[in-house]
Amino acid sequence: MSTQDDQTHAVSEQETEGPAAPIILFFIIGFAASLVLGWGIFPKLLYSQKHQPINFNHALHVEEVDDGCESCHYFREDGSFSGIPNLESCMECHEDVIGVSEEEEKFVAEFVVPEREVSWLVYSRQPDCVYFSHAPHVIAGKMACVECHGHIGESDHARVYEENRFTGYSRDIWGKNIAGLAKHPWERMKMDDCSKCHVRENVNQGSVQTQKGGCFVCHK
Amino acid sequence: MKIDRRSFLALAVGGAAGTALTPLPWKLTDDSSIWSQNWPWTPVPEKGENSYAFTSCTLCPGGCGLMVRMVGERAVKIEGLEGHPVNDGGVCVLGLSGLQLLYGSTRVKTPLKRVGKRGQGHWKKISWEAALAEVAEKLGQLRDDNQSHTVACITGSKHGTIPALFKRFMTVYGSPNVMTTPSVGDTLEMALQVMHGVEAQAGYDVENADYILSFGSGLIEGWGAPVRMFRANSAWRENGTKVVQVEPRLSNTAAKSDQWIPINPGTEAALAMGIAHVMMKESLVNNDFVESYTEGYTGWKKMVLDEYAPEKVASITGIDKMVIVKVAREFAGAGKPLALCGRGNGETPGSLAEAMAVHTVNALVGNINQEGGVVAVPIPEYAAWPETGLDNTAQIGMAKDRVDGAGSDAFPLAASLLNRFAAGAMSAKDYPVNALLVSGTNPVYSTPGANDFKKAVEKIPFVVSFSSYMDETAMQADLILPNHVYLERYEDIPVMAGLQKPMVELTQPVVFPMHDTKNAGDAIIELSNAMGGSIGDAFPWESYEACLEETLGDKWDVLSEDGLWEDEAFQPAGWGEAFATASGKFEFMNPDMDLMPSYVPLNLEGNASTFPLLLMPFDSMRLASGFISDPPFVIKAVEDTILKGKDACVEVNPATAKSLGLADGKPATLSTPKGEARVRIYHYHGIMPGVVAIPRGLGHSADDKYMAGKGVNFNELIGPVEDRASGLDMAWGVRAKLAKA
């Protein structure tokens, strides 16, 4: 028994005789690579880049209409919010080409003439498990569009829509910053952002119907 | 430098530490939770502006008004129409699930021609032109051979333009064999015909009654117009109306009633007679009515006093004598008492003598055509077009005896006896049935003696179904000419579900037809035109919609605007004018027809030693048992005391179960003289010993995977038993036996 132990000991000593690999180096390589992967490559892999069917110019439209955002994004009679206008609303003005832009020409040819709804990509669409209503915010809370949606009304082009390959929702929900940091409300629209404002403004934390707080206010 | 295991470990540890400091794990965790809460394959309603389309439900005879929430062209939810006289905003679970009948998988999407054997389900798509041409050719051939009378037709409803168009087609074609799907409404119509001498349906002013005596009617289980009955039931609770439920089984209705009187199955008429006995003996009847407005009272009274003494009735019904006397006194003493009949949801016609017995209980307290009573409601007869000439073939065909014997000397009161059709077609006594058209009904499933009915249909060389769904009858067809479903089509619905005013509703399309289907009305008009001659001449309309508009006349404007036409001015006739019998009075008996309100025991099939138990069906709001079968949402809502896995549960009293050695929840074989089925035992104290019950509406072999192969079809375990007086099926149950599986 003792002989065998001696031999084993001898062999292991022999192995460590060569130049020792710097363990710390490998640790640093692993550490650095994962940082590059997590901060740099992962966000690029996670989101696909999509373009709107029509490169919409908000700034131009806002100049032309009388009623600001509400000219197109209005509350319906039943209190629900119209969101992105449907083709019928667009056609109130664009039954024919009325301007000089190529995008408008394309819009009329591809959508108006064949009466095909435009499949707009909605940057701010919350997942279906979230119940969100504009009315309490805009009508009761008297919030301006810009408070949540930022200066979208001033943009002269439709920016790239980044779709989460996993969930199918827009990157705007999590925010451009992959760390989830945001300065303004329109840079991130996660649950914590909702509750942060609700707490700060001391608004009703419970459901209007049940007077109960918690999950069921938004997750019905 | 040597790279060893420790180097890799260091790399991995470094990687893990680094990853923890990146957003990757936290972001992926968040995303996976979002993903798993919003499975991309779960359908969600379309987004967009909501609008409402208005129509009427056709899934049962109740005639609820519906508002369908739409997003664009897509129907997303069915809701009850507020302010509607039938349902006022309410809707039942079947009505609520109607969208699955529109968008679901059981639709027949295009005309189909059978290519395999009958029932195999092998079909070839064909065009409407080809399908109609084939029907026209086959029927034309039979007509050329003077066999027009050998063509039979079965429709769902009796009233309205669609059944009327089929009937008109059959008349000008030359066949008297038009049958409709029976219900207790037919029996009650006959009772009114005999006792009042009028053609009317029985309406019940349930809202204004203050004492309800129900002889087995499933008041909250589909009887009448179901949603109206829910509302009435709630109103009774609030205004203190007493509800007495007479029924062998503790049904939901019995459980919600103020008094449940368990009774030996099938002896309800005896109880009604016993109650009449007590009321007459104790002079609790409405003297004004019986003395001035009735005929044959004295003779009938004598018979009742002789034969239905409470002691005797107690021995027949199993109800304590004092209970009978007390109920009779309470009923007579109430301000507006009302007795109701029609077992369960009223889909089975029952005995005419029994319907007359219950009607008599109402008559004795003088609640005929009174507030809170029974009202003889005239049937809206607008679907009556000018007669067109019948050619020689048609005249010869129409002169033949009907295959079901309705209207013959034996059954002069009956207009249609679907229960006798299978036997008539099988025996081919006078002539065989060479072709069958079926529209708006599923008789292969829903006729008692379903297996015999199927055999009879298998024998018919040419079967055409107009069903929107691949149901059991469509499976037996040679050609399917699919109708639009109700949310895609126009159809008038004269409401015949016990309402106290004449009412017609309009089913209107809320969506464009999804598939290559055609309104059965259009199909029959086009078929007639394809056949030409005097047949084509009888159908001058361009389309069914044009026919409907013309037929409804001034009602059309109201109907297309409001979806509902109500005879606002209707007032029940006073006792002086109400009766058109030979005597001009309410007649207790009809000696010519040897008819009177009485207790006629059912001759149960099978012998008591082989089949010691009595099997009854029961109905549930969660089980559709007629033309429509449960959509997936509804079958999911069926409790596991009714359907456990794929087995229907049979309700057995624990005492009976113990004597048979049948443990709760265990499989068993239920057999009757008609067939046997695997069931699961459910020990239930709410059913009397010796009686067992299974639900109706299960045991489909057709439709989709959600419905087919679940439970047992009660209609396969029971056969029809002919009522000598009416010819209709009077069976309420069948002898049975239970054994361990």
Q: What are the domain boundaries of chain B?
A: 5-37, 112-182+385-483+514-555, 185-216+241-379+580-593, 613-740
* Of A38, A86, A174, Cβ closest to residue B24: A38
**Secondary structure of A27-83 in HEC code, one letter for each residue:** HHHHHHHHHHHHHHHHHHHHEEEECCCCCCCHHHHHHHCCCHHHHCCCECCCCCECC
Q: Output the pLDDT for position B497.
A: 85
Give me the pLDDT at residue B529, please. Answer: 95
How many cross-chain Cβ pairs, A to B, lie less than 8 Å apart? Answer: 112
Residue of B6, B28, B48 lying closest to A23 (CB–CB): B6
B32–A166 C-beta distance less than 8 A: yes
As a CATH number, domain B112-182+385-483+514-555 is: 3.40.50.740
For domain B613-740, the CATH class is mainly beta
- Are A127 and B12 inside 8 Å of each other by CB? no
Which of A3-12, B394-403, B419-428 bottoms out in mean pLDDT, i.e. has the lowest?
A3-12
- Cβ pair B374, B367 in contact under 8 A: yes
What is the pLDDT averaged over residues B114-124? 92
- Percentage of residues in chain B having pLDDT higher than 90: 85
B2/A168 touch (CB, cutoff 8 Å), yes or no: no
Instruction: Tell me the CATH number for domain B185-216+241-379+580-593.
Output: 3.40.228.10
For residue B105, what pLDDT band results from cuts at 50, 70 and 90? confident
Pick among A16, A23, A28, A81 to test the B interface (most B CBs inside 10 A): A23
CB atoms A37 and B22 under 8 Å:
yes
Which tokens belong to B203?
């309406």
Mean pLDDT in order along chain A per 10 residues (220 residues): 47 51 88 95 95 95 92 92 92 92 94 94 92 92 93 94 94 92 92 88 74 76
**DSSP SS3 for A95:** coil
Yes or no, beta carbons of A34 and B50 under 8 Å apart = no
CB contact under 8 Å between A29 and B48, yes or no, is: no
Chain A residue at shortest CA distance from B2: A21
Measured between beta carbons, the chain A residues lying within 8 angstroms of B76 are: none
**Cβ distance of A18 and B48 shorter than 8 Å:** no
Q: Which residues of chain B does A174 touch, with a Cβ-Cβ cutoff of 8 Å? A: 27, 30
Set of chain A residues whose Cβ sits within 8 Å of the Cβ of B17: 27, 30-31, 34
CA torsion sign, B423 to B424 to B430 to B435? negative
Q: How far is CA A19 from CA A14, A27, B97, in A?
A: 11, 18, 77
Smallest CA–CA separation between B32 and chain A, in Å? 7
Smallest CA–CA distance, residue A42 to chain B, in Å, is 7
The two tokens of residue B194 are 């005999």
Contact assignment for A167 to B35 by CB distance below 8 Å: yes
By C-alpha distance, the chain B residue nearest A86 is: B48
Q: Among partner residues A21, A76, A128, which is closest to B2 by beta-carbon distance?
A: A21
Of residues A19, A30, A169, nearest to B11 (C-beta): A30
Pinpoint the alpha helices (H) of A140-214.
145-149, 171-174, 191-200
Contacts of A37 in chain B (CB under 8 A): 19, 22, 24
Between residues A4 and B456, which one has the greater pLDDT?
B456
By the 10 Å C-beta count (0-12 exposed, 13-18 middle, 19+ buried), B500 is classed as buried
**Banded pLDDT at B592 (limits 50, 70, 90):** confident
Contact criterion met (CB < 8 Å) for A38 and B22: yes
**What average pLDDT does range B605-609 have in this prediction?**
88
Dist. CA B10–CA B258, nearest whole Å: 79
Q: What are B's interface residues with A at a Cβ cutoff of 8 A?
A: 1-4, 6-8, 10-19, 21-24, 26-28, 30-32, 34-35, 37-38, 40, 44, 47-50
* Residue B230 confidence class, pLDDT cut points 50, 70, 90: very high
Q: Are B539 and B164 in contact (CB under 8 A)?
A: no
**Chain A hits for B47, Cβ within 8 Å:** 83
Average pLDDT, chain B: 93
Q: Is B174 exposed, middle or buried, given 0-12, 13-18 or 19+ CB atoms closer than 10 A?
A: buried
B240, burial (CB in 10 Å: exposed 0-12, middle 13-18, buried 19+): exposed
Closest residue on chain A to B37 (Cα) = A129
Q: How far is B23 from chain A (nearest CA, A)?
A: 6
Measured in angstroms, the CA of A174 and the nearest CA of chain B are apart by 9
User: Which position has the higher pLDDT, B102 or B38?
Assistant: B102
Please report where in the chains the tokens 């018979």 appear, as a residue: B303
Closest CA relative to residue B348, chosen from B466, B492, B217: B217
Provide the token pair at B161: 């333009």
Give per-residue pLDDT as tens, B348-388.
999 999 999 999 999 999 999 999 999 999 988 888 888 88
Nearest-angstrom CA–CA distance, A193 and A205: 14
pLDDT in tens, B621-637: 999 998 999 999 999 99
Residues B180 and B447: beta-carbon distance below 8 Å: no
CA B33, B39, B44, B49 dihedral sign is positive
> Which chain B residues are within 8 Å of A29, Cβ to Cβ?
11, 14
Q: Which of B675, B644, B659, B676 is nearest to B741 (CA)?
A: B676
Residue B39: closest C-alpha in chain A: A167
Cα–Cα distance between A186 and A193 in angstroms, integer? 10
**Distance separating the N- and C-terminal Cα atoms of chain A:** 72
At residue B106, what is the residue type?
T
pLDDT at B526 over 60: yes
> pLDDT tier at B591 (50, 70, 90 boundaries)?
confident
Give the sheet arrangement for strand B211-215, strand by strand. Answer: B259-261, B242-246, B211-215, B337-340
Query: Smallest Cβ distance to B14: which of A21, A29, A80?
Result: A29
* Residues of A whose CB is below 8 A from B15: 30-31, 33-34
Average pLDDT over residues B677-692: 96
Compare CB distances from B18 to A34, A78, A164 and report the shortest one's residue.
Answer: A34
**Element spanning B76, H or E:** strand B74-80
- Please name the helix (run of DSSP H) or strand (run of DSSP E) that holds residue B660, with its range, or none: helix B654-660
CA distance B70 to chain A (A): 14
pLDDT at B388: 83
Closest CA to B680 of B695, B669, B692, B696: B669
Interface touch A26/B14, C-beta < 8 Å:
yes
**How close A23 comes to chain B (CA, Å)?**
6
Instruction: Read off the amino acid at residue B377.
Output: V
Chain A residues within 8 angstroms (CB to CB) of chain B: 18-35, 37-39, 42-43, 46, 76, 78, 80, 82-83, 86, 127-129, 164, 166-169, 174, 178-180
| pLDDT tens, position by position, B310-322 | 999 999 999 999 9
- Report the gap between the CA of A100 and the closest CA in chain B (Å): 30
How many Å lie between the alpha carbon of B20 and the closest alpha carbon of chain A? 9
